[in-house]
Amino acid sequence: MPGELAIVPAAMAAVFVFWGCLMSHVMNTYARLPVTFSHGQGARITDTEGKEYLDALSGIAVSTLGHAHPKLVAAIAAQAGRMLHTSNLYRIREQEMLADKLAEISGMQEIFFSNSGAEANEGAIKLARFYGHKKGIENPTIIVMEKAFHGRTMATLSATGNRKAQAGFEPLVSGFVRVPYDDLEAIKAVAEHNKNIVAVMFEVIQGEGGIHLASLDYQRALRQLCDEHGWLMICDEVQCGMARTGKWFGYQHAGIQPDIATLAKGLGSGVPIGACMAGGKAAGLFGPGNHGSTFGGNPLVSAAALTTIATIEADGLMAHAECIGALIRSLFAEALAGVAGLVDIRGHGLMIGVELDRPCGELVGKALAAGLLINVTADKVIRFLPPLIFSENDARELVDRCVPLIKEFLAA
């Protein structure tokens, strides 16, 4: 009987909610909001109670094409119907096609596929050390930035510039020196006394650190400095890459070409895939046995990434992202002009930060109640990372609904 069958999921849901309140067997590593989503469409997502939300976060810069994009759904279903996985013991057609495409749009020569951003950065760090050893540097050292975020594995946590995230996990991995962000003199000072430097690793826009942009002049001068010293330039494009800022990769705004760039988040529009792309002095270093991953770049995730890239191209989502991002920033600037407590509105394309003069984490819950998915990072920065398919109407709705929450919060 259909009626009886319907009771089963309802009962299961009740048990699930009950257990969720009492205790969960999921390890307690996230401060989760008390909401569960069941499905989405475009920039809209619906919770298990049937309430709809505007998604201005896209799973932390992941759902590039929004939710349930028909082209992506079809590509994933078709690939699943053919084959999910074979391992990297064999050639993988979809992975090779993806590598060709990424090389074409990034200016890189060769690509290693991982399953996450941290793993992509692990690949970059290993590559930089390998490069150093080949040059006879016994203790290769990488320059990293204050407020940087590179991941949660031991090496990427050590490269991350957040003491709170590192606390309790010492000993950290050695071989990193930290400098202030967007400060060329600080790097020149390190170069003078440290002969073990092999690379500089940075985000052209720091995401987790609070949407901080490195100036284009800094990036160009840093490229030159890396060339002068024979260092690799590593751009962590995990958050700012994949068309989010209006170009395929953030470094392309400065017209520079890094030796290594890493990707993940938006690359597969929701399936777990990362990439460590190498060119210039970093190409041709690794051979069989130097690095690997069981899942990395399997047929399923490669097909999803290929479709993500093809759809961004076909639908002109790069220019769209830049244009909608500029609109969101200008609408916020207009609506929040003169409001006491507003510090800054900044970003590039659909990577946007609104900085307040006080910790504002509670805005995330208030926005959720109002049907908006947003984020706060670095305590005081409201962060927006909408899907690239965000429409002009979505943009206006986001600002219209967010501004009263911000004003109310600052007036309290």
Ligand X SMILES: *Cc1c(COP(=O)(O)O)cnc(C)c1O
Which residue, judged by CB position, is nearest to ligand X in the bound state?
117
Structure tokens given for 242 = 């994949």
Pick the piece of the chain touching ligand X (CB under 6 A) from 26-34, 112-120, 210-218, 386-394: 112-120
Pick the piece of the chain touching ligand X (CB under 6 A) from 25-33, 116-124, 175-183, 354-362: 116-124
236 versus 355: smaller Cβ distance to ligand X: 236
Q: Is 355 in the site for ligand X (CB under 6 A)?
A: no
Residue selected from 65, 118, 157, 312 as contacting ligand X according to rule CB under 6 A: 118
Size of the site for ligand X (CB under 6 A): 15
212 versus 223: smaller Cβ distance to ligand X: 212
Q: Smallest distance, Å, CB 5 to ligand X?
A: 38
**In terms of Cα–Cα distance, which of 121, 130, 97 is closest to 241?**
121
149 versus 248: smaller Cβ distance to ligand X: 149
Residue selected from 63, 116, 307, 377 as contacting ligand X according to rule CB under 6 A: 116
Q: Smallest distance, Å, CB 135 to ligand X?
A: 26
Q: How many CB atoms lie within 10 A of CB 222?
A: 22
Pick the piece of the chain touching ligand X (CB under 6 A) from 236-244, 290-298, 347-355, 381-389: 236-244
62 versus 336: smaller Cβ distance to ligand X: 62
Q: Smallest distance, Å, CB 61 to ligand X?
A: 7
Q: Is 245 in the site for ligand X (CB under 6 A)?
A: no
Q: Is 122 in the site for ligand X (CB under 6 A)?
A: no
Residue selected from 64, 95, 239, 302 as contacting ligand X according to rule CB under 6 A: 239
Q: Smallest distance, Å, CB 116 to ligand X?
A: 3
Q: Smallest distance, Å, CB 272 to ligand X?
A: 8
Query: Contact, 22 vs 227, CB < 8 A?
Result: no
Chain residues 317-336 in contact with ligand X, contact rule CB under 6 A:
none
235 versus 331: smaller Cβ distance to ligand X: 235
**In terms of Cα–Cα distance, which of 232, 226, 223, 253 is closest to 241?**
253
Structure tokens given for 358 = 């006080």
119 versus 394: smaller Cβ distance to ligand X: 119
Q: Smallest distance, Å, CB 236 to ligand X?
A: 5
Q: Is 238 in the site for ligand X (CB under 6 A)?
A: yes
| Cα-Cα-Cα-Cα dihedral sign, residues 166, 167, 173, 178 | positive
Chain residues 134-163 in contact with ligand X, contact rule CB under 6 A:
149-151
User: Contact letters (x/-) for ligand X, 196-225, by CB under 6 A?
Assistant: -------x---xx-----------------
Residue selected from 117, 250, 270, 279 as contacting ligand X according to rule CB under 6 A: 117
Q: Smallest distance, Å, CB 156 to ligand X?
A: 7
Token pair 């210039």 in the structure block, residue: 280
Q: Please state, in angstroms and rounded to a whole number, the distance separating the CA atoms of residues 236 and 214.
A: 13
62 versus 331: smaller Cβ distance to ligand X: 62
29 versus 393: smaller Cβ distance to ligand X: 29
Q: How far is CA 299 from CA 33, 97, 121, 270, in A?
A: 33, 10, 22, 15
Q: Smallest distance, Å, CB 354 to ligand X?
A: 18
Q: Which residues contact 124 (CB under 8 A, 6 or more apart)?
A: 201, 234, 236, 260, 262, 276
| AA identity, residue 165 | A
353 burial level (CB within 10 Å; 0-12, 13-18, 19+):
buried
* Alpha carbon 1 to its chain's center: 47
Residue selected from 94, 236, 259, 322 as contacting ligand X according to rule CB under 6 A: 236
Q: Which residues contact 223 (CB under 8 A, 6 or more apart)?
A: 233, 254, 256, 257, 258
Q: How far is CA 95 from CA 74, 268, 372, in A?
A: 18, 12, 36
Q: Smallest distance, Å, CB 241 to ligand X?
A: 9
Binding site for ligand X (CB under 6 A): 116-118, 121, 149-151, 203, 207-208, 236, 238-239, 264-265
